[in-house]
Amino acid sequence: MSDAAAMGEARSQAPLAEYTTWRVGGPAEWLAEPSALEDIKGWLDWARERDLVCRVIGAGSNLLIDDSGLPGLTLCLRKLQGVSLDPSSGLVEALAGEPIPSLARRVARAGLHGLEWSVGIPGTVGGAAVMNAGAQGGCIADRLVSVRVMPITGGDSFELTADQLEFGYRHSVLQQDNLVVLSARFRLEPGHDPKELNRVTSGNLAHRTTTQPYQQPSCGSVFRNPEPEKAGRLIEAMGLKGTRIGGAEVSTLHANFIVNTGDAQAQDIHQLIHLVQDRIELAHGIRLHPEVKRLGFDPAA
């Protein structure tokens, strides 16, 4: 049997609103927060021995969890942090829970070019790899070499190369496969001036914080852009900025953000997503596809 005591305690009925940037969501039946790679397999075994479904979350920045919460074990990897880098070759390896902003700052200080665009993404390395996160013309696929993963159903970890991940716009095969991302390797360009990289990185962050509602709980961009159109422009053109359901509101600063004005429930946000989708589809024949991952909701709802 797995020694859960050696891995730390699993919390029962842990409020998941504390684990999402929207600050909504019901409790996890069980919640574990491993801080070491060797504990991941132990927790997966722990869940399997108890016949519990297991879900993996990171920083909760691209996640909407139903008000009823989640059954089984929720494995939160936000404490699984660490970075190793080689300033001469540009190779960087980061554990799955490493925050993207801190990684962007660290590689910039080392004179490694390639992640300046990512400083405003409030997620983790693992989540960014799964969704091929992007901003300001850059995306994870541009620099990722490989990821190390472990099957949720059991077994040893193994490596997948970037080619095997079938990256697309906000897409990778990791969204379908039953795998836990443990770490990711990147190849960046060495030999750049750290001061210049820091200047560009800071400028990118300043742009995002002045054009997006960073002072209110949100998940970042809610919808994928239906290229060549932009989701935010379509929503704004429909006059939907400021539209509310309960405590959820289409941001008055950026129309592709839904913010929690203070007392939102997950169901408010869920319904507002559908309202925006329906209005845009009725007007333009385009069904906006959410970037946000929704857990615990009835698929038919």
For the stretch 106-162, pLDDT in tens is 999 999 999 999 998 989 999 999 999 988 889 999 999 999 999 999 889 999 999
| pLDDT of 5 higher than 50 | no
Return the structure tokens found at 196. Answer: 């210049």
Catalytic residue among 55, 148, 170, 187: 170
Q: Which amino acid is at 233?
A: R
Q: pLDDT for 55-92, tens place per residue?
A: 999 999 999 999 999 999 999 999 999 999 999 999 99
276 pLDDT tier (thresholds 50, 70, 90)? very high
Strands (E), 96-199: 134-135, 138-139, 144-151, 158-161, 179-187
According to DSSP, the β-strands at 293-295 and 63-65 are parallel
pTM for the model stands at 0.91
Q: Rounded mean pLDDT of 278-283?
A: 97
Going along the chain from its start, the domains and CATH numbers come out as: 4-76 (3.30.43.10), 83-211 (3.30.465.10), 231-295 (3.90.78.10)
Residue 291 falls in the annotated catalytic set: yes
CA-based nearest residue to 295, from 244, 219, 199, 221: 219
pLDDT at 137: 85
pLDDT at 301: 58
Residue 2's pLDDT is 46
Cα 294 from Cα 229, distance rounded (Å): 24
| Gap between the Cα atoms of 190 and 199, Å rounded | 17
Our answer to whether residue 170 is catalytic in this structure is yes
**Residue 254 burial by CB count (10 A; 0-12/13-18/19+): exposed, middle or buried?**
buried
| pLDDT computed for residue 170 by the predictor | 87
8 A C-beta contact, residue 58 and residue 37: no
Question: Among residues of the chain, what percentage have pLDDT more than 90?
Answer: 86
Whether 38 is a known active-site residue: answer: no
Going edge to edge, which strands form the sheet with 244-245?
244-245, 248-250, 258-260
* Amino acid identity, position 13: Q
> Which band of pLDDT confidence, cut at 50, 70 and 90, is reported for residue 208?
confident
DSSP class per residue in 22-66: T----EEEEEE---SHHHHHHHHHHHHHTT--EEEESSSTTEEE-
Q: For position 1, what pLDDT does the model report?
A: 40
Catalytic residue among 118, 183, 221, 251: 221
